[in-house]
C-alpha cells in the first residue's frame, strides 16, 4: 500500500513521518500490539501479567526485539518505566492487567502527568460484552485516568490498534510530554486479522511544536540590554525539550545568572560561574534572593509551581517577567506575566542566540549584580554542622566525590530527596531522577532499576529514606532476578523525616504517626537496640548485598565498597532523626522570609 499523504497544507505541522505504511500477515490483536511497539523502537516493557493481559504477555514472549521485565508490583513497574524515560528522554512503557492491576498504575500515570514524563501505559480490559456489567476485575480505567493523562484510548475496534499505538507514542513524546493510556479489551487482543500499520500520524488540531517569531523574541533582547538585575529561571521543560545546549549558549552570550527548578536540575551546569543552582522551598538562598530582587525574570520551560513561588503575590514583585513555554495553558495560570511566549523552548532559545549575534545586541554590565550574588552565595551556602554521627548531608557529599558527579541519582521522597539535590552537584541533564510534582514515596528503587536498564554503563544510585524504601522494597527481587546492579544509600532515621520536620516547626514536636520504629524504643547511632526493621536481613533475603554502618569513620570506605560491588548493594546508614532540611521557605511566605536555621 502507498504511504499515507496529507492533502491539506495547513495540516502539515501536525504530521509526523514514521516508517512507511505496511500491511501485516494475519495475527492476533495481542501480536499486533507487539508488532506496533517494535515499529516504535520499544526496547523494554515493564509488565505484570493477569487474566485480562495474558494474551499480551504471550505475544511479548515471542518478540525478538523487546525485553519484558517483571516487576513485583504494578506500581514498581510503572516507576521503572519512569526511570527509563527520565534518564533517556525516550518513552517509557508499562503494562498491567485489568481491575486492581490497572488501578495500581494510576499513581505512576499521575506522577508522569505532573512531571511531564513521556509514558505509555497499557492495560488489559475485560471483554467488550462485559464492560459496564461489574465483571470480575473490571474498572473503568479509561474514565478513572482522564484527569491525569495527556490522552487516553479504549480500543473497541481491532483495526484501530496499529493507528492508536502510533498516535500514543507521538502524543506521549511530543510537545509537552506526558502519559498516554491504551486500554485493550480481551476480545480485541484475541481476534485475528490483517493489520495495517500506518506510515504517518495526522492528529487534527494537535500542533506539537509552536515556534515563536522574531517579533516576539527581539523584545527580550532589548529588555536584557536595559536590565540591572536579570535572572533566567530554567525549568524541566529545558530537559524535556532537549534544549540544555541552547540554554547554556543563551546564558553565556547574554551573561545572565541562571537559577533552576528541581525539575530543571542539570539543565545548566551547577559548576558554571553563572549558576545559582536551584531555588524554591529548600533551594539556595542566593537563587531565591536573586529571583526576588530581579528586575527582569526570563522563565523558560517552567510553570510557577507553588514550591518555587512561595506566596505568589510576593514572587519576583519588581520584575518584568517573560514566560516561554510550549504549553499555552501555563501562561497566566499561576503568575501574571507581561510577555507570555508560546513556543518550543529549543527553538526560542536557539533563535534568541542567533538574533543576539546578528542584531547588534549589547551585553549588559552586570558586575554589581554578580558581586551581590557572590556575597549571598558565600554568606549562605548549603551547609550543615558536622558531629561524630553519620549525617545524610555528608553521605551525599562523599557519594558525589567518589562518583565524580557522574552518577544517575534517583530518590524517594522526603528529606533525603532534598539533601540529594543540595549536596550532589549535577552538571548534565537527566542525572537527578525524582518524583517532584506528585511527590510519591517508593519512587526511588524502581526508578533506579529503570534508569540502570536504560543506561547500563552509568552508575545508578538510589538515595532513599527508610519510609520511602519500604514502600517498594519488593523490587529488590526484580533487581536480583533480572541482574540489574543498582546501588542504594538507605538513610535510616526511623521517622517520616519531612513530616516530622514540619511537626517540629508547626506542632511543637508532637508526633502524629511519623515514628516508624517503636515510639518508646527508638534506636540511635549510639544505641541500636530499637532499630526496626532489620534492613540487612531483609535485603539479603532477596539475594542482594547489604551492610549497615553507624560510625562516621566507616562512611567513605563503605560507599566505595558499595560502588565497587558488581551487583545490587544496599548500604544502610543509621542517622540521627533530629536533622532538618535547611534553608526552607514555609508555605505562604516569600523568599525574603527564608529560614536558614531550624530555630529561626
Q: Is 137 a catalytic residue?
A: yes
The catalytic residue among 186, 346, 452, 487 is: 186
Contact 417, 389 (CB under 8 A): no
Phi/psi zone of residue 3: left (φ > 0), alpha (ψ -120 to 50 degrees), beta?
beta
Q: Is 584 a catalytic residue?
A: no
Helix (H) or strand (E) holding 67, with range, is strand 67-69
The catalytic residue among 58, 137, 372, 586 is: 137
Phi/psi zone of residue 137: left (φ > 0), alpha (ψ -120 to 50 degrees), beta?
left
Q: Is 190 a catalytic residue?
A: no
DSSP-assigned letter for residue 4: P
User: 475: which 3 cell numbers?
Assistant: 523490587
- 432 CB-side CA count, 13 A: 34
Q: How many CB atoms lie within 10 A of CB 454?
A: 24
Contact partners, residue 526, CB within 8 Å, separation at least 6:
none
Contact partners, residue 332, CB within 8 Å, separation at least 6:
340
C-alpha radius of gyration, the chain, whole number: 25
Reduce the DSSP state of residue 34 to 3 states and report it: helix
The Cα 392–Cα 3 span in angstroms is 57
Q: Please report, to the nearest 10 degrees, the dihedral formed by the alpha carbons of residues 173, 174, 178, 181 taken in order.
A: -70
Q: Is 375 a catalytic residue?
A: no
User: 560: which 3 cell numbers?
Assistant: 566505595
The catalytic residue among 65, 136, 338, 363 is: 136
Q: Is 136 a catalytic residue?
A: yes
The catalytic residue among 74, 138, 246, 579 is: 74
The catalytic residue among 441, 491, 498, 584 is: 498
| Catalytically annotated residues | 74, 136-137, 186, 498
Amino acid at each position: 500500500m502507498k504511504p499515507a499523504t496529507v492533502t491539506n497544507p495547513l495540516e502539515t505541522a501536525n504530521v509526523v513521518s514514521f516508517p512507511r505504511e505496511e500491511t501485516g500477515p494475519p495475527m492476533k490483536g495481542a501480536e499486533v500490539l507487539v508488532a506496533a511497539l517494535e515499529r516504535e523502537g520499544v526496547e523494554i516493557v515493564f509488565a505484570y501479567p493477569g487474566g485480562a493481559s495474558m494474551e499480551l504477555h504471550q505475544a511479548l514472549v515471542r518478540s525478538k526485539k523487546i525485553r519484558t521485565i517483571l516487576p513485583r508490583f504494578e506500581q514498581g513497574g510503572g516507576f521503572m518505566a519512569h526511570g527509563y524515560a527520565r534518564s533517556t528522554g525516550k518513552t517509557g512503557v508499562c503494562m498491567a492487567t485489568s481491575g486492581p492491576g490497572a488501578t495500581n498504575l494510576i499513581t505512576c500515570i499521575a506522577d508522569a502527568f505532573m512531571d511531564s514524563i513521556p509514558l505509555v501505559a497499557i492495560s488489559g480490559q475485560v471483554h467488550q460484552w462485559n464492560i459496564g456489567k461489574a465483571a470480575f476485575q473490571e474498572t473503568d480505567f479509561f474514565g478513572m485516568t482522564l484527569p491525569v493523562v495527556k490522552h487516553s484510548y479504549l480500543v473497541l475496534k481491532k483495526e484501530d490498534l496499529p493507528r492508536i499505538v502510533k498516535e500514543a507514542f507521538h502524543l506521549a513524546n511530543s510537545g509537552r510530554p506526558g502519559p498516554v493510556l491504551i486500554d485493550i479489551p480481551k476480545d480485541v487482543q484475541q481476534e485475528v486479522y490483517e493489520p495495517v500499520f500506518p506510515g504517518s500520524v495526522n492528529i487534527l488540531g494537535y500542533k506539537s511544536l509552536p515556534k515563536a517569531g522574531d517579533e516576539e523574541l527581539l523584545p527580550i533582547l532589548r529588555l536584557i540590554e536595559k536590565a540591572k538585575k536579570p535572572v533566567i529561571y530554567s525549568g524541566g521543560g529545558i530537559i524535556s525539550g532537549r534544549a540544555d545546549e541552547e540554554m547554556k549558549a543563551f546564558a553565556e552570550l547574554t551573561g545572565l545568572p541562571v537559577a533552576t527548578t528541581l525539575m530543571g536540575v542539570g539543565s545548566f551546569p551547577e559548576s558554571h560561574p553563572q549558576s545559582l543552582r536551584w531555588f524554591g522551598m529548600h533551594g539556595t538562598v542566593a537563587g531565591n534572593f536573586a529571583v526576588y530582587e530581579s528586575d527582569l525574570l526570563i522563565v523558560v520551560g517552567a510553570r510557577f509551581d507553588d514550591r518555587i513561588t512561595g506566596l505568589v503575590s510576593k514572587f519576583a514583585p519588581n520584575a518584568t517577567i517573560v514566560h516561554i513555554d510550549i504549553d499555552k495553558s501555563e501562561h497566566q495560570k499561576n503568575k501574571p506575566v507581561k510577555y507570555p511566549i508560546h513556543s518550543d523552548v529549543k527553538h526560542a532559545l536557539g533563535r534568541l542566540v542567533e538574533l543576539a549575534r546578528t542584531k547588534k545586541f549589547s551585553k549588559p554590565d552586570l558586575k554589581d549584580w554578580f558581586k551581590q550574588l557572590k556575597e549571598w552565595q558565600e554568606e549562605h551556602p548549603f551547609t550543615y554542622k558536622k558531629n561524630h554521627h553519620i549525617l545524610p548531608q555528608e553521605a551525599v557529599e562523599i557519594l558525589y566525590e567518589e562518583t565524580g558527579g557522574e552518577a544517575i541519582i534517583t530518590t524517594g521522597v522526603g528529606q533525603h530527596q532534598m539533601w540529594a539535590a543540595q549536596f550532589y552537584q549535577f552538571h548534565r541533564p537527566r542525572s537527578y531522577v525524582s518524583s517532584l510534582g506528585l511527590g510519591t514515596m517508593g519512587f526511588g528503587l524502581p526508578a533506579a532499576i529503570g534508569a540502570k536498564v536504560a543506561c547500563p554503563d552509568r552508575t545508578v544510585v538510589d538515595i532513599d529514606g527508610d519510609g520511602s524504601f519500604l514502600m517498594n522494597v519488593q523490587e529488590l527481587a526484580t533487581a536480583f532476578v533480572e541482574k540489574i546492579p543498582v546501588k542504594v544509600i538507605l538513610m535510616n532515621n526511623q521517622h517520616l523525616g519531612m513530616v516530622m520536620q514540619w511537626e517540629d516547626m508547626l506542632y511543637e514536636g508532637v508526633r502524629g504517626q511519623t515514628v516508624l520504629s517503636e515510639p518508646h524504643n527508638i534506636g540511635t547511632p549510639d544505641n541500636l537496640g530499637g532499630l526496626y526493621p532489620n534492613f540487612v536481613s531483609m535485603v539479603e533475603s532477596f539475594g542482594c548485598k547489604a551492610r549497615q554502618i553507624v560510625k562516621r569513620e566507616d562512611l567513605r570506605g563503605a560507599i566505595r565498597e558499595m560502588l565497587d560491588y558488581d551487583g545490587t548493594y544496599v548500604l544502610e546508614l543509621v542517622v540521627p532523626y533530629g536533622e532538618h532540611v535547611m534553608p526552607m521557605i514555609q508555605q505562604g511566605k516569600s523568599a525574603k522570609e527564608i529560614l536558614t536555621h531550624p530555630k529561626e
